[in-house]
Amino acid sequence: MRDLTWKVLYSEYVHRGAWATLRHDRCEMPDGRIKDPYFVLEYPNWCNAVAITDEGKIIMVRQYRHAAKIVSLELPGGVIEKGEQAEEGIKRELLEETGYLFDDFELLCVVYGNPATADNHTYCYLAKNGKKVQEQTLDEHEEIIVEEYNIAEVKQLLADNKIAQALHCTNLFYALMKLGEL
């Protein structure tokens, strides 16, 4: 099979930020063509979960997403902190965003949101047996409404295009397959 990878000839950082970093690369393609500039967004890795309570409800969160200017219905999740394992990250995110603690985790898939321009990936989990143990402990700029849905309702939300976050739709697809619902 032919090697399709590019050789990086030069890299420099254009912007470094807490949530996103922009890098400028100069690349040589396998046939010798040069691509310059090629911009790469560096993000921390993310995690999300199809989180099912001990009563069989799927927990979803509703929050404003400024870049798209939408109020988005999503799965709980977020950034995996530096030095944190993915499963630790999703456990923390679930507790912070929903107040629920889960005791059964399964990694369903690892996906890339946009591998053409972003370097990070997302760990997608199925979490089961959730119990409400505390109130939310949100970050400074988070405003999150926790909602619960049964599986049929979530399938209808997907069918009606009411879940806009593609990475979360992907996890829902894998979880519904795992649960024998597709």
Tokens of 146: 């926790």
Enumerate the domain spans of the chain. Answer: 7-42, 46-178
pLDDT digits (tens, 9 = 90+) for 133-176: 999 999 888 999 999 999 999 999 999 999 999 999 999 999 99
Give the Cα separation of 111 and 168 in Å (integer).
Answer: 10
Question: Nearest Cα to 73, choosing from 163, 145, 158?
Answer: 163
Q: Per-residue confidence at 19, pLDDT binned at 50, 70, 90?
A: confident
Q: How far is CA 35 from CA 7, 115, 167, in A?
A: 10, 17, 29
pLDDT digits (tens, 9 = 90+) for 71-89: 999 999 999 999 999 999 9
Give the Cα separation of 68 and 109 in Å (integer).
Answer: 25
**Structure confidence at residue 98 (pLDDT):** 98
**Structure confidence at residue 127 (pLDDT):** 98
Domain 46-178 architecture: Alpha-Beta Complex (3.90)
**Structure confidence at residue 56 (pLDDT):** 97
Contacts of 141 (CB under 8 A, 6+ apart): none
Number of Cβ within 10 Å of residue 180's Cβ equals 6
**Mean pLDDT in the chain?**
97
Overall average pLDDT of the 11-22 stretch: 94
Question: Is pLDDT above 90 for 114?
Answer: yes
Exposure on the CB side of residue 157, measured as CA atoms within 13 A: 22
